[in-house]
Structure 1
């Protein structure tokens, strides 16, 4: 086996094992301990984070984040990966901000010159538009970690109506929509699922009071899939083609749409009565792209809100 091939396989092996002894690797690869030690030294210089321990129970282990083995990308695949990461630049906050910047730099700097030229020319020809929001979301990483490991967080949340307050929440997921990050979570204060704007979560630390986490493994992204409102009202509205397109951009609303062959559509579903203020603002923003049929309570709310707006003009 050539040295280069052995080192690639050795990188894959140490990433898989995480903890190992030199003699084990020497036996596996059929070389001397000295050769393995030299290979490990070269892998360490390439950035594989190895740590050695002395003693009868010592050996080597991979620390921090593992380094993936080299992956052969075609030119088209490399360009596609570059622009997939490049598209995230419109977000002021990311749960993996430093990692995405590092990955983008590696893709670009290690490409052949002609491929970099192709990317440079494409930057002015293709983009993935996302509204750039001013507010940052500093707690994305801890929210995502809590969702993955099912941990309870103590957060400071600046809600629109109540101002700053402390909440205990258990995140289910985070998602980006229309330039904002949102977190679907179980709120122990409200005893139910809520969707939190991540830029309004100013602090988030792991709970130390001993609140028992819930088993939320089956809960998915949409708030409407997890909410269990006590009082529902029926909502029915007709949408133009433009109205459908604007509603399809809303993650929580898309499952409620019934789209006709001509592109127009209908919303015909039950919604929580407590959401009337939200739907009031939402339908006003749709303008003449929607015809609201019911409920009458929502119609009255829209008329009242429009009258309030007229007073400003």
Structure 2
């Protein structure tokens, strides 16, 4: 086996083993311990984070920040991965903000000159735009780690009722319209609730005696079906113009309620939480003549109030 091939296989082996001795590697690769020592030294110079321990139970150990083995990408794959990461720059907060920026810089640096030129040309011709928000969410990494490892964390959360201290067990995090959300089991409310991450003012590992629940079967794809608290529902019906249909298609809450006719017009029909009436009133007012809400009556009255308050503002 050539030295270059042995180094690549050695890198993959130490990443997989995490802890090993020189004698073990020498037997596995069929070379002398001295050769393995030289190879490990070269891997260290290449950036593989190795740590040695002396003594009868010693050996080598790969630190937590492991280095992935070389991966060969086609030009199209490299460009696709670059722009998938590049598009995240519109978010004011990311769970791996520093790491994503570092990875993107490395990716760009080690590309050939012609591929870099192609990317430079594409930067102003391809993008994935999401609303830029001023509110930051500094605890995304902690929330995600707690969701993965089934941890309980304590947060100070700002809601419409004021700021409260809660112990929660996150299920995951997701972004919508430029904002980050975290569905989690709330021990204060004894049920699953949805938290806006920018309203979390502090977060830390819960050191109380609260034991984590087994929520491995609950994830972002099914968490809503596990919500025990069922808010009061109202029946929504609204007629939409073609423009109204197109604008509602971008709304997450309209999924399953939006229906389209052959001429492009459509209607919204389905149940909505009663507590969403103020939000829907403001939203439908923004659609103007492209929507006519017929029910519930409370929503119609809410839209009328929004109109009058808007007129008063410009009186």
TM-score, length basis structure 2: 0.91
SS class of match (1:151): coil
2:14 maps to 14
Q: CA RMSD in A?
A: 2.1
2:162 maps to 163
Residue 230 of structure 1, CA deviation: 4.6
1:280 maps to 281
2: CA distance, partners of 1:257 / 1:34: 70
2: CA distance, partners of 1:254 / 1:179: 18
Alpha-carbon contact 1:52-1:59 (below 8 Å) kept? yes
Residue 9 of structure 1, CA deviation: 0.6
Go from structure 1 to structure 2 and tell me whether the alpha carbon gap of 1:86 and 1:234 turns closer, same or farther (over 3 Å shift): same
Cα deviation digits, residues 205-234 of structure 1 (max 9, x gap): 111222233333324258754444153222
Go from structure 1 to structure 2 and tell me whether the alpha carbon gap of 1:224 and 1:90 turns closer, same or farther (over 3 Å shift): same
Alpha-carbon contact 2:171-2:218 (below 8 Å) kept? no
Alpha-carbon contact 1:183-1:198 (below 8 Å) kept? yes
Cα deviation digits, residues 259-307 of structure 1 (max 9, x gap): 4455544432222222222322232233333332321222222222332
SS class of match (1:106): helix
Residue 69 of structure 1, CA deviation: 0.5
Instruction: Identify unmatched segments of 5+ residues in structure 1.
Output: none
Q: Where does 1:1-313 land on structure 2 (aligned, <5 Å)?
A: 1-159=1-159, 161-216=160-215, 217-220=217-220, 224-227=224-227, 228-313=229-314
2: CA distance, partners of 1:223 / 1:289: 33
Go from structure 1 to structure 2 and tell me whether the alpha carbon gap of 1:120 and 1:277 turns closer, same or farther (over 3 Å shift): same
Residue 13 of structure 1, CA deviation: 0.7
SS class of match (1:288): helix
Cα deviation digits, residues 87-126 of structure 1 (max 9, x gap): 1111111100011101100111001111111111111211
